[in-house]
Structure formats: structure tokens, C-alpha cells
Amino acid sequence: MKPFGPLPRQRASDSVYEALRSGILTRVFEPGQRLNVPELASQLQVSLTPVKDALNRLASEDLIEIRPHSGTFVTQVMPEDVAETFQIRSALERLAGELAIAHATPADVAELRHLVNQMAGTVADEAAWSAHEKWNGRFHQLIIDLSRNRKLIQMYEDLNAHIQIARIHRGRQDWQERLPDERAEHEAIISAFEARDVAALQTALQNHVSRAAESLVRDLRELNAATLAAAPVKRPRRTTAGRPKS
């Protein structure tokens, strides 16, 4: 396990929750990894109670699984779960877009365009991809925030956490091939904002989120298939007489 430093003084359970949630979303803890609760408490320099409280909150968000008699594990991402998550995200973004058009100022639309321009560079390595993902996340978050609907914003944040985990394991061999489609979709979104066209915005958001969902789900299925193919074949144990043990 990678080292975890002590926390600043504030409410312990909140600090532990934020630290562990961040660790899940930034690859400190991998999907499927077992979490050692006493070790986490020691590294964070807190008692077991705030760690357990934080883990219960993370379990309620489906970011971890607490298995009786087995332990606590970071949730393993499945392609089918990601597909369902994107279906809900699509509905939320389309609703957010409808609400956001009524609130977006010319400065807000200019900020959306600025974020798209930040993504215009070549994505050729891990560092460039991380920067691209940061700007892309801000682009979508701005649309959500412009809805000014607190419940919608919270629901989106919870969904997006699962999508971030899935993206950790996505295949990225075709980065450059996907970027032109993404840029065209972002331009369609901005154009709809500029025209104050709700129907065009919802269509643009639907197309963009659907294409992103198909891409990520396909990547995860291919990764799972490759992992399964690479797994060692379990052969039956044999007795001294050469017959398989029952």
C-alpha cells in the first residue's frame, strides 16, 4: 500500500472520508483492493472510529464494499454498471442543460469555450491525458453548476465518482482518433448555448454522453476479456497415481 500522511486538525471523520475518497479516485487504491482498516487508522493518525465512519459513508456511495467475514474492498467496476451510470448521467446533463441555458451569462459561455480551447492540444502521453481530463471535467461541471439545482449537482457528483474510477482502467490506444469527435461535440454544445436553443443543447449533450459511454464501456469489456485470457489456467491436482484429486 502506498504511504498515507497524517491529517490536518479538523473533524476526523470528515477528513478521513475526504482522504479515502480522494485516494479511490486518484489510483492510490485500485478497484478490488482490500483496505486494511487498522493500517489506515495508523497512517492517518486517527482512531478506528472515524475510519469506520468514513468507510460506511463510502459504502453508502457504492465506492467500497464491506463484506462480512472477508474485509473491506474498493468497488470493482463492471462494464454493465458503467453503462447504467451513464444512462443516468445523460438524463442529468440534459436536465442541467435545460436549466443552465436560463442562467448562463455571456461570460459563462465564454468560459465554456475557454475550457474547450484548453483541450485543443495534442494528447500524446499520460500527463497530457490527465490535463485533458481535468479540463473536460471542468467543462461538464460548469454546465451542471449553472443549473443552480443543489440536488442535481449532488447526484451528478456521486455518479461522476464511479465514472472516474472506471476511467482509471480504460484503454487509451486510440486517444487521437477520439479527440475530433469530442471536439465537434463540445462545439455543438457551445453553439446551442450561444443560440439559447434548449432542444439543440439536449441533443448535443445526448450525443456526446452516449458516444463517451460506448467508448468507455467497450474499453472496459476489452480489458476484462484480456485480463481473463491472461489469467493462468487452474489444472486439477493429481494423486501419485496420476488421477485428479476429488
Count other Cβ atoms within 10 Å, centred on residue 19: 20
d(Cα 42, Cα 37) in Å, to the nearest integer? Answer: 9
d(Cα 192, Cα 38) in Å, to the nearest integer? Answer: 52
Instruction: Check: CB of residue 116 under 8 Å from CB of residue 139.
Output: yes
The pTM of this model reads 0.71
Q: Extract the C-alpha cell encoding 238.
A: 493429481
Can you give the pLDDT of all 246 residues of the chain as single tens digits?
566 666 554 578 899 999 998 888 777 888 789 999 999 999 999 999 999 999 999 998 888 899 988 999 998 778 898 899 999 999 999 999 999 999 999 999 999 999 999 988 767 777 777 788 889 999 999 999 999 999 999 999 888 877 877 776 555 556 567 788 999 999 999 999 999 999 999 999 999 999 988 988 888 888 777 766 765 555 545 444 444 444
d(Cα 224, Cα 71) in Å, to the nearest integer? Answer: 24
Q: Single out the residue of 80, 188, 93 nearest to residue 146, CA to CA.
A: 93
